[in-house]
Structure 1
């Protein structure tokens, strides 16, 4: 095993599955919202497909970078992308700023990497891009969670409950 691996492949997969399950429960309790224009079933299918695709990232890390940071980024990416899809119409400015800024930084890093680095290690590049997208996902989740937990008028339902006698 390489020096920066802290888990065997079996332990890495088990911990990743547990992290996905715990995060899915927390996500469904606090943040889950149907994507605008989709049904509940379609929204759940999108979340499931994003999770499966992100879980496929384990294949790229089977020999390299099996640690908690890798698990965290793999778990955050599908939930952050889904949150951005679901809440983009309600919070376009904060979510747009986060994604534009961090994807812009990603592109600058890729340009700098190809310009400066002579011996290219694409696993390292993929790892850095995954980390930045995971950070954007985390910031999206934090923004939406702060709006939902602290009762923003943007997120709350416009209907009012009245007493009918």
Structure 2
């Protein structure tokens, strides 16, 4: 019976010491903040904090994971922004009464760029589903546009 009590006390002491270590270690504090920013959708801030935490302690797995996931999420955000900008430019071109050959080539290049960038994206299980769905919608729009025009 005494050995069980000692074992429980020993495990409790390890948990308390671990908690103190993680609370006062600046690398893990930054990691926890980065994780919070990642889950609220501020991927830029999450990436910066995770990068800082990772540079402080390269064995910090949480920092490494948040850094990698933030990089993927930022790639999705950049793709969505690129696609939205190109759709706006294509919409401006389409309001013209007459298309020039240069306009058609410009639209074709925009479609090819967006379709090529989409292929480079690689989601993980932790990637925000909204980002994945929005990027797929944009890709589908460009694929349909490319199919109809060329």
Which protein has the larger Cα radius of gyration, Structure 1 or Structure 2?
Answer: 2
TM-score bracket relative to the smaller structure: under 0.3
Between structures 1 and 2, the one with greater helix share: 2
